[in-house]
Homo-oligomer: A and B are copies of this chain.
């Protein structure tokens, strides 16, 4: 009998997920605008038969560029270039429902799905923070619940647009001079609270129907949204218990929303720091920690926790009077995770910055390839994960080490494919998900 298969996503971030990674001798500080760097990473991930790779994003520049490489190429555009440099791997771009219009964004993802032969995915974000809001004509960020209400309507409109062409709308009858069948075009004619979108998309239905829908918010609003729309979920979990609880909760919410529990894949993030011995792995981790500039870390932490500059003391604990998550309008679940981590492990600000340097709240794990594989297998078999979001501390070397040393172990254990194979072509197929039916074709059968 075939073992249940693990799903792996490579979360790519310039020189790596550790904030000090750019300072290592191997790192190129200009990598963030270098296509060749990303092509190299994509090809390493494809060698490791990953399901997909992924780019985070936000439409703003943080207040200081001193600390670490800042700014990034726009993900859909970059992934289109990577589509031409790869054959099999899925391509997941982050894009905001708060700062895009549905027509333009639906079209861009449809284009990426056509160009990549059905390998497009959309990590749906609502974008926390006033910096982004002020780049789009607003004075402050919209409230958290407001952002999610807009996101839900955005999705409904996008789904109408992606379904606005039936799969067989193109007739291509040269002799009769008839190219398309107007009866198989379904303009959304949407008038809602946030959007009015009248006409059909100007891109035919794509290989996947629409991009794989991915989501990463773990707040109450985020989980409700995921249960309704998401087909894959990225999540930051610090302990196996928390991860199991999150997994069970999300699966049951998905069933309650009328969907199949297996049609939402849960992928916790892990920052593997690999060494040939445990001591070497810890030494590698220490090199990274030693490169952290703590004044930068304090600034960053104060921003994450919505504290005024100068509030935190490097060798003191977090303040005891932090507001509850309900008072936070930004990244709610990340806020709670950081505060709980500091309190549970009684960390000073300096220690907390060290822990966050690698994963910004994701599980950081230093160990041998066997130990990394063991952790992955344990979580996978304990009802905590359908796969993992692999977040190398340093790129490309950390991804290369994972593919060279951890992937073979996962393959030996029967958890991961040894090659992509010919029959499964689209990203959705790789994740074991069905191609979505067109809402206009399904409807008559449901009557």
* A contact set with B: CB distance below 8 Å: 20, 22-25, 27, 29-30, 33, 35, 58-61, 64-74, 76-78, 80-81, 83-85, 99-101, 103-104, 107-108, 110-112, 114-115, 131, 134-138, 164-165, 169-170, 172, 174, 177-182, 185, 195-204, 291, 293, 296
A137 contacts B195, C-beta separation under 8 Å: yes
A135 interface neighbour in B103, B172, B182, B293, Cβ under 8 Å: B103
Q: Are B179 and A65 in contact (CB under 8 A)?
A: yes
**What are 28 A-B pairs with beta-carbon distances under 8 A?**
A22-B174, A30-B172, A33-B203, A61-B164, A65-B182, A66-B180, A67-B179, A70-B180, A71-B203, A72-B202, A73-B114, A73-B115, A73-B203, A74-B104, A74-B107, A74-B108, A74-B111, A77-B77, A77-B80, A77-B111, A77-B115, A78-B115, A81-B84, A99-B101, A99-B103, A100-B104, A131-B198, A137-B196
In the assembled complex, the CB of A438 is this many whole angstroms from the nearest CB of chain B, namely: 16
Q: How far is the CA of A203 from the CA of B112 in the complex (A)?
A: 21
**Distance from A214 Cβ to chain B, minimum over Cβ atoms (Å):** 19
> Of all chain B residues, which has the CB nearest A75?
B111
In the complex, which residues of chain B have a beta carbon less than 8 angstroms from the beta carbon of A65? 169-170, 179-182, 185
- Closest-by-CB residue of B relative to A103 is B135
Q: Are B202 and A293 in contact (CB under 8 A)?
A: no
CB neighbours of A185 from chain B (8 A): 61, 65
Q: Cβ of B201 and Cβ of A71 under 8 Å apart?
A: yes
Q: Give the residues in chain B near A135, CB-CB below 8 Å.
A: 103, 197-199
- Point out the residues of chain B lying under 8 angstroms from A202, CB to CB: 58-61, 70-72
CA distance A378 to B61 in the complex (A): 51
Known contacts A22-B179, A174-B23, A179-B67; is-contact A200 B61 (Cβ 8 Å): yes
Contacts of A182 in B (CB 8 A): 64-66
Cα–Cα, bound, A346→B51 (Å): 63
State A77–B106 Cα separation when bound (angstroms). Answer: 13
Decide if B134 touches A198 in the complex (CB within 8 Å). yes
Chain B nearest CB from A363 CB (Å) reads 26
Give the distance in Å from the alpha carbon of A293 to the alpha carbon of B174 in the complex: 11
- Report Cα–Cα, A197/B170, bound state, in Å: 42
Kindly identify which residue among B115, B165, B199, B204 contacts A134, using a CB–CB cutoff of 8 Å: B199
Which of A25, A138, A199 gathers the greatest number of chain B CB atoms within 10 Å?
A: A199
Cβ B35 vs Cβ A115 within 8 A: yes
Bound Cα distance A292, B119 (Å): 37
